[in-house]
Amino acid sequence: MNTIKRYALIFLALLFFSQPSLAQLEIEEATLYPNGATLIAKAVTYVNKGKNFVGFLPKDVDRASLNLAPNCNSASIIGVDWASPEKTEAYKSLKAKLDRLYNELSVVEESAAFYEGLIKSLQEAYKNNRYLNYLPYEKKFAELQSKHLAQKQKITLLKKQIEEIQKQLKKLDTMLALFVWATEEDQCEITLSFNTSKAHWKPEYILSHDKGKITLRFLAKIMQTTGINWKDVDIALSSSKPVRSLSLPEIEPLFVYAIDNTQIFRSKMVMRAAPPRMEEIKTSVKRSLSSYSYTLATPVSLDSGKEGIFALKTFKWDKPKIERICVPSESEAVYVKVELPLPKSPLPNGTVRIIDEGTYVGNVQMSSLISGKTMVVPLGTDPEIEVKRKLIDLKKEKTWSGNNRVTATYKITLVNTKDTPVSVKLIEPLPVSKDDRVEVTILQDKITPVPNKIKKNGLATWILNLQPGKRVEITYSFRIQFPEKALINLDIY
């Protein structure tokens, strides 16, 4: 058998060779917190007498939080042990396979280079018209090209396999191997729980305004890099922190015993009961004095290194209080905000994505929206209401005493280009003197229409009802008198 055929057989054997399992553990339940998680995993495995590999856990696992609950027919689990991934058969098997693939890749690359050289030689011969009477050029050229292509395809496949194994080894480098000590051979179901920072959740929201109605979607963004792919995991979300050990574990002498059927040393850490299974409640919100938790309606599947968005609740307000406010002296835009009663369900702080009539407006934090028992949400500006503010008259003169006197008149115009009527609250700061040398007079007979309210600080408010396609104008005048050699902080002088 020639070298190429021999390596081809090896290649086919490797192609159908089943890869070793990277973990026997399957995550069944997860309680996620903003900064970590408590996971419950299960492994159904056959144990031998002595040390047995159970599975891989995240390297940052809180070992003090580990609870192990074995269920065996006759064997007893008397202790646990930890090791780096390099000590496991799974890691060694992957490493050996990687070495074999690298060796095979080297041989196949040499073979591909050999065929490539033959093809170039044949092309050169054809170019120089040598030996063409003695070589079936077309047939030989096609045969060599076919073999060269086959080798190139093998190279591509081998590189993909190498890349995949390298990813698996890299993943294992971020994990710890868990072993248990058994008294005899047996079939065991091992349930364990542990804390890790490699999984967490954070709340997110989408608030949308459409035709006068408000919808708030409460979402959970779940991220996990535990190194274990989750399949149909029951998820609970909590606003609190994982329960960690409060005190130093009890320190005991390390007594070594022989493992036999007459004398068994039971580890305190091993024999603690696993936490109870989470309640399966489709729509569940639980409150305590300082935290709350949610239970997702359906199990979640999420690969390690991925993140998922899951809907928790949807709130709707069909007739919200929407307010349009304009301050022309600062901006000619009309700002829209909506005031909503807070739902009974808690809304933890998180990013709120605001969408107004299908247009993305921006992001805010939920905590900044909540005020007492209401939620005030900015919806951006309304481009269908046009606002203009203009100085239409300015008179500068001297009084008989030599003081400066300035009289100014402003006009504000609003146009509703919508096909529906709207109400706009317009706020304009009228000048107020804070200096005994400055005298300010609001010319009441020249304010049209009359403001709905004028505060002592000079803030005048108009409530304007704008009909579709209609224009509304506001004019007001004021007079300011001040010393001849003084200046005032208004841009009209």
User: Which pLDDT does position 401 carry in this prediction?
Assistant: 83
Collapsing DSSP to helix, strand or coil, 332 comes out as: coil
What pLDDT is recorded for position 21?
Answer: 39
pTM for this predicted structure: 0.69
Burial of 358 (0-12, 13-18, 19+ CB in 10 A): exposed
Pick from 208, 141, 481: which is nearest to 352 by CA? 208
How far lies 195's CA from each of 82, 184, 202, 353, in Å?
16, 29, 17, 31
So what's the pLDDT on residue 19? 38
% of residues, the chain, pLDDT over 90:
56
The pLDDT score that the predictor gives to residue 134 is: 53
Q: What is the pLDDT of residues 165-216, one digit of tens each?
A: 998 898 888 889 999 999 999 999 999 999 999 999 999 999 999 988 999 9
Phi, psi values for residue 101, rounded to 5°? -65, -40
pLDDT of the residue at 14: 40
Position 24 scores a pLDDT of: 67
What's the pLDDT at 65? 84
* Integer CA distances (angstroms), 308 to 224, 228, 297, 445, 447, in order: 9, 15, 15, 63, 58
- From its phi and psi, is residue 388 left (phi > 0), alpha (psi between -120 and 50) or beta? beta
pLDDT reported for residue 138: 73
The per-residue pLDDT for 137 is 66
What is the spatial order of strands in the sheet that 50-58 belongs to?
50-58, 175-182, 77-83
pLDDT of residue 64: 82
Nearest CA-CA partner of 450 in 471, 469, 430: 430
| The residue count for the chain | 493
Ranges of residues in the chain with a pLDDT under 70 are 1-24, 126, 128-137, 241-291, 492-493
Whole-number Å distance between alpha carbons of 85 and 71: 25
